[in-house]
């Protein structure tokens, strides 16, 4: 979260509607054996959006 805030703190705030596209590049070690398509990324997305709320939103 701190990294996201640090990297976006100098960007202008979003003034209107926008589209947010997020790509998570996860190493294979993050994929549980019982879920081969990857981890549940909801928690990652929430933390990412919370960090952006502190800077550009």
Could you identify the residue written with the tokens 């996860």? Answer: 26
Where do the structural domains in the chain lie, given as residue ranges? 1-16+37-57
More confident residue, 32 or 54: 54
Instruction: With H, G, I as helix, E, B as strand and everything else as coil, classify residue 52.
Output: helix
Q: Are 5 and 49 in contact (CB under 8 A)?
A: no
Q: What per-residue confidence (pLDDT) applies to 29?
A: 79
Kindly report, residue by residue over 4-53, the tens digit of the pLDDT. Answer: 999 999 999 999 999 999 998 888 777 777 776 767 788 889 999 999 99
pTM for the whole structure = 0.74
pLDDT of residue 36: 67
């Amino acid at each position: 979260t701190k990294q996201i805030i640090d990297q976006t703190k100098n960007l202008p705030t979003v003034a209107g509607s926008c589209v947010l596209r997020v790509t998570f590049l996860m190493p294979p070690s993050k994929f549980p054996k019982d879920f081969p398509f990857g981890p549940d990324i909801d928690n990652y997305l929430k933390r990412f959006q919370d960090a952006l709320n502190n800077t550009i939103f």
